[in-house]
């Protein structure tokens, strides 16, 4: 199981490096989209999609992104979700979110008081920073008062990976590398399961930080090179368990 997990993430990183050669390609997908209402599907045949302004997914709406879609996001721009977002990548064709121009970081995927649960499966997130309000949305994926499930997501060259406040999160088979400002997974005042994840090069905080978490689980994770704690079960956390984690 672990061998297959590691092989998948090596495969994803190779795909990302091979496709990360230029940002000057013609953009055939949506440009300057600002709001989504109803159900919208983004398809590979119209990829890449350029996001040049804040993209808002309204309450009750959903954005479904098919495998192989690439989203190029302008400097400092966020994807703000009050409905649902489903990024449905595959091993061979992940969904990729990255900056539209090299070295110019985009903002964050911000999910707040969402009307439904969101899913990220087989996704590469590269070059993200934080949301417009960096106190509320401080990580590449920031979740407030909402539920999210994440499988096989690779975080590369982001400031912080995942921040969940008053929400429920399942984070499995994910890779966090090259993150350099704070915790890679931080959960406060909610519940979370973090399992079969790989953490490398945490230089600004804990790899995994739980605070005020009830019923959290950290299982079968591998943590290398964390400047602070590999795992920090902080104040007001209860009934949280750590099972077979290598630090």
Q: What is the pLDDT, as a whole number, of residue 215? A: 78
CA distances, 179 to each of 36, 39, 175 (Å): 30, 33, 11
Tokens of 16: 């990302």
Q: Residue range 151-161: average pLDDT?
A: 94
Give the Cα separation of 110 and 158 in Å (integer).
Answer: 14
Name 115's Cβ contacts closer than 8 Å, sequence gap at least 6.
Answer: 59, 60, 82, 83, 84
Q: What is the pLDDT, as a whole number, of residue 29? A: 47
Which residue, among 214, 156, 213, 161, has the nearest Cα to 183 in the 3D structure? 161
Is the CB of residue 185 less than 8 Å from the CB of residue 194?
yes
- Which has more confidence, 134 or 172? 172
Tokens of 115: 């009307």
- Which has more confidence, 50 or 204? 50
Q: What is the pLDDT, as a whole number, of residue 230? A: 73
- Which has more confidence, 237 or 50? 50
Q: Tell me: the pLDDT tens digits for 28-69? A: 444 455 899 999 999 999 999 999 999 999 999 999 999 999
DSSP 8-state code for residue 197: -
Q: Residue range 167-175: average pLDDT?
A: 95
Q: What is the pLDDT, as a whole number, of residue 177? A: 83
Give the Cα separation of 150 and 89 in Å (integer).
Answer: 11
Is the CB of residue 218 less than 8 Å from the CB of residue 242?
yes
- Which has more confidence, 53 or 228? 53
Query: How much is the mean pLDDT over the chain?
Result: 83
Q: What is the pLDDT, as a whole number, of residue 41? A: 96
Which residues face 156 on adjacent strands?
A: 126, 177
Q: Tell me: the pLDDT tens digits for 63-92? A: 999 999 999 999 999 999 999 999 999 999
Percent of the chain residues past pLDDT 70, beyond the cut:
76
Q: Residue range 109-124: average pLDDT?
A: 97
């Amino acid at each position: 199981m672990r061998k297959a997990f590691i092989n998948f993430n090596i495969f994803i990183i190779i795909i990302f490096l091979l496709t990360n050669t230029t940002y000057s390609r013609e953009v055939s997908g949506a440009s300057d989209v600002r709001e989504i209402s109803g159900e919208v599907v983004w398809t590979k045949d119209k990829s890449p999609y350029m996001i040049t302004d804040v993209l808002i997914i309204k309450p009750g709406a959903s954005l479904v992104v098919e495998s192989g879609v690439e989203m190029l996001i302008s400097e400092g721009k966020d994807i703000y979700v009050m409905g649902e977002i489903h990024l449905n990548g595959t091993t061979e064709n992940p969904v990729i979110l990255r900056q539209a121009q090299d070295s110019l970081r985009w903002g964050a995927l911000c999910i707040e008081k969402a009307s439904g649960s969101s899913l990220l499966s087989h996704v590469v997130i590269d070059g993200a920073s934080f949301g417009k309000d960096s106190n509320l949305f401080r990580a590449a994926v920031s979740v407030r008062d909402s539920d999210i499930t994440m499988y096989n997501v690779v975080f590369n060259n982001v400031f912080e990976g995942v921040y969940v406040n008053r929400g429920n999160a399942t984070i499995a088979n994910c890779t966090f590398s090259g993150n350099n400002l704070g915790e890679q997974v931080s959960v406060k005042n909610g519940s979370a399961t973090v399992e079969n994840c790989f953490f490398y090069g945490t230089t600004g905080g804990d790899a995994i930080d739980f605070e005020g978490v009830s019923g959290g689980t950290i299982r079968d994770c591998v943590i290398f090179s964390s400047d602070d704690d590999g795992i920090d079960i902080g104040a007001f956390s209860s009934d949280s368990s750590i099972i077979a984690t290598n630090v």
